[in-house]
Amino acid sequence: MNYELRNMNWDNKRDKLIVLSLFFALFSFFSFSQVTTKVDTTKIRIGEQINYKIEVEADSSSLVVFPEGQTFMPLESVEALEVDTTKKDSKLKLSKIYKLTQFDSGSYTIPRQKVLIDDKSFYTDSLKVDVNTIAVDTTKQKLYDIKPLIDVEKSSSNWWQWLLGVLLAVAIVAFLLWWFIWRKKPLTEEEEIALLPPYDRAKLALKKLDESQYLIRSEVKEYYSELTLVVRKYLDEKVYDKSLESTTDQLITRLQLLKEGNQFPFSKETIHNIETILKRADLVKFAKSAPDYALIEMDRATIEKEVDNVKACLPEPTEEEKLLDQQYKEAQERKKKRKKVILTVAISLFLIIATYVGFGLKYGFGYVNDTIVGHESKELLEGEWVESAYGFPPVYIETPKVLMRVQDSLPDELKDKFERTIFAFGSEQQNISIGIITTKTKDAQYQQEEGNIEENVSQSIEQILGEWESKNVQNIVTKGEQYITPNAVEGVKTFGTGDFPIKGTDKTLKGEYAIFSFATKETIIHVTLIWAQEDDYAQEIIDRIIDSMELKSDEQASAEQEE
């Protein structure tokens, strides 16, 4: 009886152990089978694609995070399809397909991929893929030399609009100066009369006096004033140059002296007639005398006759006098021309200074001076910028000029383990320097563990600073902080100041620098920016570059292109 009881107890224990073993085995199986992978092939030719599928079975309330970005290196992720969801009993089955490729022949191992289900991490198995070359039958397929580089026409800028505006403004100013200063304006009536000889002007003045309304309006005083002015002006220009300002007695005395000195052969009648009319005019103007109209008409005829007599007495000008008169006219023309030149220069200088001051008050005098004289950083800032992607994974960045690939100086013993690409740009005056360095591991044993990534980034930054010191960069001040790109990619920002040597001289440039570092298991990316500390335009350029900097995966870029 006791024996049977012991056997029964043993059987019960054995059954429990079997049940527990089966339970744990099934639990382990279901836990492992939550994440599975499938591929359509493990052998491809260069450039062909593999459909790498990850399937996850989880509760409907679970949060599942699939791998993102270039986590399949050394194979490249060309496209990641949307997650496909199906319901199976009380669980959900999620699957996602990645299209992978490689453009170099060889055997590659797709590393394990991490899938997050809630707070737990699950890993897929690594997978070996063979990439074969494509055989080319050279007897049927002709081979050609590599085509040379083609110069691409630079896209047109709006410089011609600024040039057209400047030329238009200069043309308007030149037209106004010509119209108001240099143009030969039609002469006014007064100017035409002034160009006439003194005798013709006197005769014309007498004719205009006849056409006046003085006598009709009984304005005798005004009439005699104009009448005597005719003869005084003529005498002033041809006989005695103070005739206009002399009194009647002074003028008559001067005429007598000129007659007695045989300078002018005036007749006594001529001098007497001029004296009589001038004294009568004085009585009319100052004593309010009122001669009758017959006397007035006689005085008018007498003045005209005596003007003719004076003209007849005048000697003909000598050749020397004619030459002096011509020289005088030429001197007057030169004087007028010089006056026009001075006026044109003064107005032009005023417009230039006013324009300079106006733009200086609005935009700042330093900006205006740099625009006139030229400033390299300003030209870069206001020029046509280029937005492009550099390296792989690609760094999307906007720069004033295209970054050129630089030959890598990586030692030969490291080229089998690492692949490094460098793109850089440096301004002629060394006010701005831009560089993108991408270092990728070729050997799996050198891939970075998650815990060592930060340490490796720090070492690579110290290596960059060490290279600067070896190139005689002095007084390097270093600070560091976390940095997140505009598209939410985390990295490290190392920044500070230093004295950077100017190429070809013994001088140094006080500058600032910033190194933006991003890392994955296979890749470390450094974006280095160096600029002159006291160059405001360079600071604006750097700010714009930093604001444009993004790191994107291939599928993100493809999605943007489709949109």
Instruction: Provide the residue type at 498 as one letter.
Output: G
Give the residue among 93, 119, 110, 100 at the shortest CA–CA distance from 35: 93
**Can you give the residue ranges of every domain in the chain?**
33-132, 196-315, 333-374, 376-562
What would you measure as the largest C-alpha separation in the chain, in angstroms?
192
The DSSP result for 226-285, as a single string, is HHHHHHHHHHHHHT-TTTTTS-HHHHHHHHHHHHHTTSS---HHHHHHHHHHHHHHHHHH
Q: At what angle do helices 268-286 and 248-260 cross, to 10 degrees?
A: 170
The reported pLDDT for the residue numbered 5 is: 31
The reported pLDDT for the residue numbered 137 is: 58
The reported pLDDT for the residue numbered 282 is: 92
Fold of 376-562: Protein Transport Mog1p; Chain A (3.40.1000)
> With the CA atoms of 280, 286, 290 and 296 taken in that order, what torsion angle do they form, in degrees rounded to the nearest 10?
40
Per run of 10 residues, the mean pLDDT along the chain (length 563 residues) is 37 46 38 72 86 86 83 84 82 87 83 85 85 67 60 60 84 88 78 81 90 89 92 90 91 90 87 92 89 91 91 79 75 87 91 86 79 80 87 86 80 68 81 87 54 73 86 88 83 90 83 88 86 88 91 54 47
Instruction: Provide the residue type at 20 as one letter.
Output: L
Query: Do 57 and 91 touch, CB atoms closer than 8 A?
Result: yes
> With the CA atoms of 189, 195, 199 and 202 taken in that order, what torsion angle do they form, in degrees rounded to the nearest 10?
30
Q: Is 171 exposed, middle or buried (0-12, 13-18, 19+ CB in 10 A)?
A: exposed
The reported pLDDT for the residue numbered 9 is: 46
Lookup result for tokens 């020289």: 327
The reported pLDDT for the residue numbered 207 is: 92
Give the residue among 154, 10, 81 at the shortest CA–CA distance from 559: 81
Residues composing the chain: 563
The reported pLDDT for the residue numbered 452 is: 60
Checking phi first, is residue 513 left (phi over 0); if not, alpha (psi -120 to 50) or beta? beta
Sheet with 418-426, edge to edge strand ranges? 404-406, 418-426, 432-441, 523-532, 508-519, 490-501, 474-484
Query: Do 419 and 402 touch, CB atoms closer than 8 A?
Result: no
Pairwise CA distance, residues 36 & 223, whole Å: 126
Pairwise CA distance, residues 397 & 550, whole Å: 6
Percent of the chain that is helix, strand, coil (3-state, to 5): 45, 25, 30
Query: Do 439 and 420 touch, CB atoms closer than 8 A?
Result: yes
DSSP element (H, E) containing 397: strand 395-399
Q: Does domain 33-132 have CATH number 3.40.50.970?
A: no
